[in-house]
Amino acid sequence: MPAVLVCLWAVPVARATTPLKLEQLAAESGWIRLLHYEPDRGVASGWRSAIHSPEFFLAAGGGTDPLAELQATLAAMSVPAGIDVDAHAQCRFPARRIWLTQRLGGAGSLAQITCPRFDGFIRSSEVESVSIIFATGYLGNPASYYGHALLKFNYTGTYSRSPLLDVSVNYGAILTGTDDPLTYMVKGVFGGYDGGFSHVHYYFHNHNYGENELRDLWEYRLDLPPEAVRLIVAHAWEVLGQRYTYYFFRRNCAFRMAELVQVVEGVDITPPDRPWTIPQSMIQRLAQARFADRPLLAEVRYHPSRQSRFYERYRSLEREDAHLLGALADGTEVISGSRFQGRPVTSRQAVLDGLIDYYQFVADPETRASGKRDPGYARALAARYRLPPGEPVVAQRLPEAPQLGRPPSWVQLGWMQGSASGEAMSLRIRPAYYDVLDGGSGHVPNGALVMGDVQLRVEEGRVRLQQLDLLAIESVNPALSGLPGDRGAAWKLRAGVEQARLGCRGCLMPRLQGDMGFGRQIRDGLFAAAYVGGAVQTNRFEQGPGFIRASANLIFKPSAGFAVRLGYEHRQPVGGAAAYGLSQAELRLAFGARSDLRLAYANDEAHLLTIGLGHYW
């Protein structure tokens, strides 16, 4: 019976719809979004779909012809269902069916075929809302430097039971081999991988990002009506398994997640007019977006990582209990000892809860996956079961939400004065992303991730390159507890062009620099790190082919708007040049989320002073 009704629906549509009407319909933005068409002057229609899987199209030339694909879709949705109902066009493309029903006949004009696979996909009738999940940046994987975005479908009553059972939709590069990080970056930037959507229960991503990679998760629930939610769910079903070309900077996870939501007419959350799409920028645009004359964002929820939970529990301990936890962790005390047993019950509860979190935090992902645990974990868990029930109070400090942070791009206009180079104006442009002084929520604390940072020197009507950082990364573990396994591993990597020495004018030299070390959060707002490493460079200006060095940094951040960094390096050039020291200091004072003032000083026998006013955009 349903198939007969579909055929009956198709007859009046065919009679009432002229070719001109179909051409107008095929040109509508809703149809363009559903097929993921993008402008392309190289084809007659001016459109080419970002999806290059042939099975996504019902017309032979549907990938570049919106009208032909519309005509083929109308015809395919009108034929009777065969033995394999799930192969019917209505079941393969439920979002197209929803949109065509709305545009051509209104509700009820198309009798929907029952589609077992789609109905079992996520029990779509039970999805009450859609959330965008933002995982903060992770410097252990080049694909995750800028954070990650995915969708979560929230079931009816989902907040009264575990949201971990909700379904999530993810987009990423499809990897078929074991490329090294450098190859991955190059191929990711230039479209060397296919990309695609996949779905899995949310607990998989919560475990991978929050538990294994120790990344905080932020959930942004959207305020959309039921019909908009149904359209997003249906379109997600359509694109699962379809192949795109993956681009790390622009058409990445944030761009594709925004596309899924923007299938709803009137939603616009893709950051415009930029050659890159940073997930945090999409979240910031989402926070400002409106739909149906009200904010699109309904609610923000913070899901702390395993590391964040442990640190907050550790901070909440009394001083004696914190020392006791450390002694239990390093083996100088035992649970059966008098020092632990003599503490009040509430203190023992708090120490054991912290110790259990500690063992889970320091265990590496492979150990957790194998099910093997440190014997201390089992002892702590058994001891906790022997104590009365009760949850010690932990004052969870909510960090600044990523949507409230500053924009990712920065430009600075300033003045510089060098003992050897004289005075000049300075223009600095950093397309993305953050350094140790202006990092905020969603960024690695006390770390840096910079790409394409260029500083120009302007004097006497001439523009010269002062410095260029193609890539600069500083990855640190805050090591707040200082316990075994939380000692603060740190590393730095930098590639670019800079002056050979401060006292050398016009001595640009390509350099690749790397360092390994450790860092420690001394107290809130005060971080110290020490490194050993070096650089390789072109053998010019009597500087040799490289140098080795030892360095130390001190970072002081008493507030979000004020930060100071002090550093010293001792460099030993390779090839006979004399050793020398490099002292550096930089101060940043922020004026709101979009402006700052910086003062920087460096000395390696010659000195360079720079002061500049910056704007974030």
Angular region, 368: left φ>0, alpha ψ -120 to 50, beta rest: alpha
Residues of the chain with pLDDT under 50: 1-18, 107-108, 158-160
The answer to pTM > 0.85 is yes
Distances (CA, A) of 430 to 283, 427, 457: 20, 10, 15
CA pair distance 166, 160, nearest whole angstrom: 12
For tokens 């500690």, the residue is 358
Strand partners, 564: 556, 587
Q: Name the residue type at position 330.
A: D
CB neighbour list of residue 511: distance below 8 Å, 6 or more residues apart: 494, 495, 496, 497, 498, 535, 536, 537
CA pair distance 28, 97, nearest whole angstrom: 15
Classify 374 as helix, strand or coil: coil
Q: How many CB atoms lie within 10 A of CB 270?
A: 19
For the chain, the farthest-separated pair of C-alpha atoms sits apart, in whole angstroms, at 90
Phi, psi of 267 (to 5 degrees): -100, 130
Q: How many CB atoms lie within 10 A of CB 344?
A: 9
Classify 506 as helix, strand or coil: coil
CA pair distance 522, 555, nearest whole angstrom: 10
Q: How many CB atoms lie within 10 A of CB 459?
A: 14
- Fold annotation for 124-303: endopeptidase fold (from Nostoc punctiforme) (3.90.1720)
What's the token pair of residue 62? Answer: 């549907």
DSSP for 419-482 reads TTTEEEEEEEEE-EEE-TTT--TTS-TT-EEEEEEEEEEEETTEEEEEEEEEEEEEEE---SS-
CA pair distance 448, 138, nearest whole angstrom: 11
* pLDDT for the residue 7: 29
DSSP for 190-205 reads TT-EEEEEEEEEHHHH
CA pair distance 347, 449, nearest whole angstrom: 40
CB 426 within 8 A of CB 614: no
CB 467 within 8 A of CB 495: no
CB 208 within 8 A of CB 108: no
What's the token pair of residue 72? Answer: 């083929």
Which among 616, 617, 571, 609 has a CA at the least distance from the CA of 587? 609
Phi, psi of 490 (to 5 degrees): -145, 150
Which among 368, 385, 386 has a CA at the least distance from the CA of 306? 368
CB 613 within 8 A of CB 414: yes
CB 104 within 8 A of CB 17: yes
What's the token pair of residue 379? Answer: 């002892």
Domain 405-616 has CATH 2.40.160.40: yes
* pLDDT for the residue 354: 93
CA pair distance 98, 110, nearest whole angstrom: 9
For tokens 């970002």, the residue is 50
CA pair distance 253, 140, nearest whole angstrom: 18
Q: How many helices (H) and strands (E) does the chain have?
A: 18, 24
CB 249 within 8 A of CB 431: no
Taking only Cα atoms into account, the Rg of the chain, rounded to an integer number of angstroms, comes to 29
Classify 513 as helix, strand or coil: strand
What's the token pair of residue 504? Answer: 């050398």
Distances (CA, A) of 382 to 349, 352, 372, 387, 556: 12, 10, 16, 9, 41
CB 184 within 8 A of CB 163: no
DSSP for 543-575 reads --SEEEEEEEEEEEEEETTEEEEEEEEEEEEET
What's the token pair of residue 453? Answer: 């940072």
CA pair distance 192, 477, nearest whole angstrom: 32
Q: Which residues of 126-147 are buried (b: 16+ CB within 10 A; e: fewer)?
A: ebbbbbbbbbbbbbeebbbbbb
